Chain A
Amino acid sequence: MFRSMGCAMAFAMAAVPAHAQDAAQLKQLQQRVERLEAQTKARGQSAFNPDISLILQGTAASLQRDPETYQITGFAPSGGEVGPPRRGLSLAESELVMSGNVDPYFAGKLVAALTPEDELEVEEAFFSTLALGRGLTLKGGRFLSGIGYQNEIHQHAWDFQDAPLAYKVFLGGRLNDDGLQLRWLAPTDFFLELGTEAGRGRSFPATDPNKNGAGAWSLFAHVGGDGWRAGLSYLRVKPNERAFEDIDALGGATTQAFSGTSRLWIADVVVKWRDLKLQGEYFRRRESGDLAFDDSAGSGAFGALTDAYGSTQSGWYAQAAYRVLPQWRAGYRYDRLEHGDVSNGIVDNGLGPTAADFPLLMTEHNPTRQTVMVDWSPTEFSRVRLQVAQDKSRAGVTDGQIVLQYILSLGAHGAHSF
């Protein structure tokens, strides 16, 4: 910066005709630049500290049904924290964010979540390259995956308090794997971005394989323009013994575990026009492999069985948020999941358990949810939101959910990502 100021000075001298008046002006300008330089120098070492920001959140919830019994019937549990918030008053995750440039080649960022259960969770901790050029950026560490639209957006910047059902059921809320990401931005006036990720597969839909090499692969492409962005993403993982518990027709406990290949496609679109934001995503997952069933801890009627398993399931949501007044927004979201086709060899061979022994996987239930919200943001650093939902995630059960939420951000200015 100093050098360029110097250039500006030298040039200003050359540019301005040498009248006496101009010379005086020039001297003034010179003095001003010198003063500004002196000020800049005075900032000192603390300028090397990373940018720090802190997000504080909390909820007050009133739920018709016990959140402990929450499940999305017809779909394998994703193991993520997908249920509604606790009833009554509770603290939500507090986020601590630190970021800065490492050197001319790398930037780094840490997003740590302090959970209300007094745990420290690393949501993101990654480096990204600054100087690869040619539109390329390499990211490494743990980061929110670039697949879909909402996945890369931090929870405190969502338009609703919770994730869409499709995110809950197909990604356990969101995907933040450990791995590498390479993005390429096309050199066109039209926005076109391609990316690929290789991850460890540390969480759902993968099962954290203990092996050399990558356990999760993804590809994504985004296109966009002045007020819109659309994308297509693909995620492939190979879960091994992805287990969950269920209850069979007799009420006995069972364990089921899927091993095979899971492929997920996501199509997303977001449109912003004046004070209106429309957002929608469609998910389609195909899983094929084997399902292991074991009721020896429960009724023990069939013991341990394994047979072929395949499923094609989908889900989507669409939402709109509208700025009604400068500080007020209102929003509506519709969620729907399609149970789709599930072929379970253990049931199909007709010798053992029936579909009724697989209530979670085999109940032909298409979960839906409708959500409305109103939020008030006195400044861009604070937001209070009231959200009401009619949630039909569980088969035959309707849950009315009312959540009041606050989100406060302190410190470094957040980014207005699209």
Chain B
Amino acid sequence: MRTLFSLMLLAAPLPALAALSIFACEPEWAALAKELGADKVSVYTAAGALQDVHRVEARPSLIARARGANLLVCTGADLEVGWLPLVQSQSANPAIRPGQPGYFEAADFVELIEKPARLDRALGDLHAAGNPHLHLHPRNIADVAAGLGSRMAQLDPKEGAHYRQRTEDFLQRWQQATARWEKEAAPLKGLTLVVHHRDLAYLVAWLGMREVGSLEPKPGLPPSSAHLAELLARLKQEPAKAVARSAYSDPRPAEWLAQRAGIPAVALPYTVGGSDRAKDLFGLYDDTLARLLAIPR
């Protein structure tokens, strides 16, 4: 056994090909890290684009990847509370623990909305810090990008100029795109939607749309037939133009309601990779707006 120990102690970390090895919790942050780091970073994504981020498990592959990561880029605000603490402790990598520069939480750089006034699980699966699905507001992406670019420069000072230049470039392109999106999306103001989960709240707020109901009776609870029937009755009084859901969610409840209410069911990509066109963050917003603009008004 002694030889086993010495073997264990001798094994040195394998050299990473890129300067910064980034472990992104969600695809949107993987896409952002690639924008800011380009060829100087290698990026691994924990959650799939069509996976419910609340349901991720601390898979062995995640633990192995986190072991060699220099930087974890996650949403925070307890979105990953079910699995990330396990990955952080089991990967035995002190650099990526909470409070270390190697742990980046997007929520630190954004003002969250929908902070619960009352913290009680009787009200559903609430996040104490506020709604964590923050990446569907372009201003939040810009704020997080500024924070992330600076964090990457801090962790890899040799390439600092590279990250700064890329971030500056990204922010400029993002700003132009945001201006274009806001112009294009002007007709969406006041559009009434039924949503599946509270994961589109930032998008709804940004575009001035109006949410008239949600398929989930309470955050995190799957739609029940009783609740859907009640929602259908409510839509007779206060009609909505469409039922919107994120690509990862079960399509059936949205389709059930849409069919009976005589309105379209729209699947939005939600994150990078959620649809064919959502290849990067720009594509994600382009496709999301295109799908919303296709709703007959």
Give me the interface of A with B, judged by CB distance under 8 Å: 1, 4-5, 7-8, 10-12, 14-17, 29, 32-33, 35-36, 107, 128, 130-137, 183-194, 196, 219, 222-229, 272, 326-327, 378-381, 410, 413-418
In the complex the two chains form, what is the Cα distance from A225 to B93 in whole Å?
19
In the complex the two chains form, what is the Cα distance from A416 to B78 in whole Å?
14
Contact A194 B8 (CB under 8 A): yes
Contact A224 B168 (CB under 8 A): no
Chain A min CB distance to B61 (Å):
5
Contact A229 B60 (CB under 8 A): yes
Give me the interface of B with A, judged by CB distance under 8 Å: 1, 4, 8-9, 11-14, 55-61, 63-65, 67-68, 78, 81-83, 85-86, 89-94, 97, 99, 101, 104, 108-109, 111, 121, 124-125, 143, 146-147, 149-151, 153-154, 164, 167-168, 171-172, 220-222, 250
In the complex the two chains form, what is the Cα distance from A166 to B287 in whole Å?
54
27 A-B contact pairs sorted by A residue (CB < 8 Å): A4-B104, A4-B151, A4-B154, A5-B109, A8-B109, A8-B147, A11-B146, A15-B149, A131-B94, A136-B8, A136-B92, A185-B63, A185-B92, A188-B64, A189-B65, A191-B63, A196-B1, A219-B1, A224-B60, A272-B59, A378-B221, A379-B125, A381-B121, A413-B82, A415-B82, A415-B86, A417-B57
List of B residues within 8 angstroms of A191 by Cβ? 60-61, 63-64
Across chains A and B, which 8 residue pairs bring their CB atoms closest together, nearest first? Answer: A224-B60, A11-B150, A191-B60, A191-B64, A8-B147, A12-B146, A326-B222, A187-B13
Known pairs A5-B147, A188-B14; list 19 more (Cβ under 8 Å). Answer: A8-B151, A11-B153, A15-B171, A17-B172, A32-B111, A133-B94, A135-B92, A136-B8, A184-B8, A184-B11, A186-B67, A196-B1, A222-B60, A224-B61, A224-B64, A225-B60, A416-B55, A416-B83, A416-B86
In the complex the two chains form, what is the Cα distance from A348 to B53 in whole Å?
62
Instruction: Count CB-based A-B contacts (< 8 Å).
Output: 169
List of B residues within 8 angstroms of A223 by Cβ? 60
In the complex the two chains form, what is the Cα distance from A306 to B250 in whole Å?
66
Of A35, A229, A413, which contacts B78 at CB under 8 A? A413
List of B residues within 8 angstroms of A186 by Cβ? 11, 64, 67
Of A15, A133, A134, A418, which contacts B168 at CB under 8 A? A15
Contact B56 A416 (CB under 8 A): yes
List of B residues within 8 angstroms of A378 by Cβ? 221
Contact B94 A130 (CB under 8 A): yes
List of A residues within 8 angstroms of B4 by Cβ? 194, 196, 219
List of A residues within 8 angstroms of B64 by Cβ? 185-186, 188-192, 224
Contact B85 A415 (CB under 8 A): yes
In the complex the two chains form, what is the Cα distance from A184 to B65 in whole Å?
14
Of B57, B92, B101, B168, which contacts A272 at CB under 8 A? B57
Contact B94 A36 (CB under 8 A): no
In the complex the two chains form, what is the Cα distance from A7 to B67 in whole Å?
26
In the complex the two chains form, what is the Cα distance from A381 to B4 in whole Å?
41
Tell me whether A33 and B109 are in contact in the complex, defined as CB-CB below 8 angstroms, given that A8-B150, A11-B146, A327-B222 are known contacts.
yes
List of A residues within 8 angstroms of B104 by Cβ? 4
Contact A132 B92 (CB under 8 A): yes
In the complex the two chains form, what is the Cα distance from A14 to B124 in whole Å?
42
B107 — nearest CB in chain A belongs to which residue? A36
Contact B94 A187 (CB under 8 A): no
Tell me whether A134 and B164 are in contact in the complex, defined as CB-CB below 8 angstroms, given that A29-B146, A224-B61, A414-B82 are known contacts.
no
List of B residues within 8 angstroms of A135 by Cβ? 11, 13, 67, 91-93
List of B residues within 8 angstroms of A130 by Cβ? 89, 94, 97
List of A residues within 8 angstroms of B92 by Cβ? 132-137, 183-185
